Structure 1
Amino acid sequence: PLARTKYTKYFLNAADRSLNSKAITETKTVKYDSQKEDISFNYTFVNDTELTGHFKLHLWISSETDDADVFVLVQKTTATGTLIPTTVFGVADPGAHGQLRASLRELDQQKSTDAIPFYTFSKRQPLKAGEPTLLEIEIWPTSRIWHAGESLQVNIAGRPIRDKSWFLPTEVESINQGMHTIYTGGDYDSYLLAPVIPPKYTSGKFVVR
């Protein structure tokens, strides 16, 4: 990570699908069909903001079954929700990707950090149907600047959200069935951990990154 990285929590609020700089006090939930729907949460920046490095989604979720495949995409959009992609190897890249099978959520405590979870993948831990469970989902590192008025968007789904133009596989055999429920607020402090990079130098309107 860059030495001046300030890891910042953006808290999910299921009530209005927003991301917030302050913790949410009231518990709310939102559901999505794990086989065909996705949920998005948004934060609009007031000032130009650079995000460079690893992201992590700290997510409380439950399933109607004993397992869940969760896919995440961190995207940049206009204030009205229009995607602003970047280009990787000549292909439009929608955003930074993460995924986790809930039953393989066990962390290697020696290798994991606050920003980067490492998984043991050594044993299966089934979910209890309908019971909120905490997942720490690694999201690939990226580097972009969000200008004032542009939005940080987190998409959550039970399938890959990337379109078929991307060179990674988008057809994945999922174990998902039924509805997933996301919990936010109160004891369920779901948040996106983002690597905010302050400018190297600012003087009035003059900014050096």
Structure 2
Amino acid sequence: MVNSRPLFDDYWEEKRIKPEDIKDIPMYLTASYSTGLHCEGSFRAFELAQTSRKWLRVHSTQEWHDLYRPEATDDLQRFYDYYAKGIQNGWEAETPRVRLSLLGYDGSITKTIVERPEEQWPPARQHIRRYYLDAATQTLSAVKPVNSASIAHEGHSLTASSVLFLKLPLWAVHLLIIGHGDDFDVVVQIRKISASGELLESLNWSPMPAPGPKVPNVNVAKHLGQQGMLRASHHVSLQPRASEDEVPVYDHCRREAITPGDIVPLLIPIWPLGVVFEAGEGLVLRISGHDMSLPEAEALRLTAPVDENEGQHTVYTGGEYESYLVIPVIEG
């Protein structure tokens, strides 16, 4: 159906749940950063639901592991006891509206923060930072580079097919990019790095029966970092935003073919991700033409690229080109 109906139309609309129509119904939502299918939907449903009786618990593990933890099932039982059985167990008065986990990542000096109470999602105390890409140095900086530069990567490849931008101490990334053909796919990924520059991974349950290097390279076991992706021709379906700080949303109801050789501005939303950093640690922004996350299972691992790409993609930065990463930050 994706091939026959590539745009969002009435066929897809009738299959969409409408959380904005949920009014005055108690909701208990869980969310996981590492779940390839459900991450964005959990957070968006919580934001859009119109009921005042809603609770969000963002756990630090893969969703199947969390689902069967005794602590998790006991917590959900309290919710049902209160609303379904009328048991006065203090649920509304005692339970934080949002419990937010922040990933520390395996091999990091920081520890994962598990279900810290927050008053709302997104947290009210976060503030937005913008980091500009510099293709000349492959770094991210709070100051826009004076000189323009560009860097290219192969669009239609699963190997040696990404460029990295490093920030030493998600929102969205704004890229000025050129591709070949009348359409192309762009994928961005946020990775955490150690103070020594090592790319880190987050193990998806604890305790893990094997050390990190021996854990299978599948997404149910380890999480690399959060992604965002956009097909270039869909950039015309961006919905109006009240401010530049809002997460970009596309309705994907229309497309406009790209003129080969044109530099196209793309505003790519990145799925929610909570990470804790210590001084010296940092992040890497990767840009590619293909999905950079691990497969959910070994049988789903790609052996050839599946995209709309031809030839190289070139990212333009600095000077007249404003390519940047926007991230929300809470200072400890």
How far did residue 86 of structure 1 move?
A: 1.7
Structure number with the higher helix fraction is 2
Query: What is the match of residue 327 of structure 2?
Result: 194
| Partner deviation per Cα, 1:78-106 (whole Å, 9 max, x = no partner) | 24432212233562100011111010112
| Structure 2 unmatched runs, 5+ | 1-121, 206-219
Q: Residue 20 in 1 paired to residue 20 in 2?
A: no
SS of residue matched to 2:233: helix
Q: Residue 140 in 1 paired to residue 271 in 2?
A: yes
Q: Judging changes above 3 Å, is the alpha-carbon distance between structure 1 residues 112 and 161 closer, same or farther for their aligned structure 2 residues? A: farther
Query: What is the match of residue 123 of structure 1?
Result: 254
What is the CA–CA distance in structure 1 between the aligned matches of 2:314 and 2:201, rounded to whole Å? 28
Greater Cα offset, 86-95 or 107-116: 107-116
Query: What is the match of residue 64 of structure 1?
Result: 180
Give the number of aligned pairs: 191
Query: What is the match of residue 313 of structure 2?
Result: 180
| Structure 1 unmatched runs, 5+ | 46-53, 200-209
* Contact 2:223–2:294 under 8 Å retained in 1: no
What is the CA–CA distance in structure 1 between the aligned matches of 2:261 and 2:154, rounded to whole Å? 14
Query: Where do 1:20-99 residues align within 5 Å?
Result: 20-36=141-157, 37-45=161-169, 54-88=170-204, 91-99=221-229
| Partner deviation per Cα, 1:47-99 (whole Å, 9 max, x = no partner) | xxxxxxx4101111011211110111101012443221223356210001111
Name the % identity: 32
Structure number with the higher strand fraction is 1
Q: Judging changes above 3 Å, is the alpha-carbon distance between structure 1 residues 110 and 40 closer, same or farther for their aligned structure 2 residues? A: closer
* Contact 1:93–1:166 under 8 Å retained in 2: no
Higher relative contact order (CA 8 A, sep 6+): 1
TM-score of the aligned structures, taking structure 2 as reference length: 0.54
Structure 1 residue ranges, 4+ long, deviating more than 6 angstroms after superposition:
none
How far did residue 187 of structure 1 move?
A: 2.0
* Contact 1:76–1:153 under 8 Å retained in 2: yes
Q: Judging changes above 3 Å, is the alpha-carbon distance between structure 1 residues 126 and 170 closer, same or farther for their aligned structure 2 residues? A: farther
Q: Output the amino acid matched with 1:107.
A: L
The Cα RMSD (Å) is: 2.2
TM-score of the aligned structures, taking structure 1 as reference length: 0.83
How far did residue 113 of structure 1 move?
A: 5.6
Q: Output the amino acid matched with 2:125.
A: R
Q: Output the amino acid matched with 1:139.
A: I
Q: Residue 151 in 1 paired to residue 267 in 2?
A: no
* Contact 2:241–2:248 under 8 Å retained in 1: no
What is the CA–CA distance in structure 2 between the aligned matches of 1:63 and 1:125, rounded to whole Å? 14
Q: Judging changes above 3 Å, is the alpha-carbon distance between structure 1 residues 170 and 127 closer, same or farther for their aligned structure 2 residues? A: farther
What is the CA–CA distance in structure 1 between the aligned matches of 2:328 and 2:311, rounded to whole Å? 34
What is the CA–CA distance in structure 2 between the aligned matches of 1:158 and 1:94, rounded to whole Å? 17
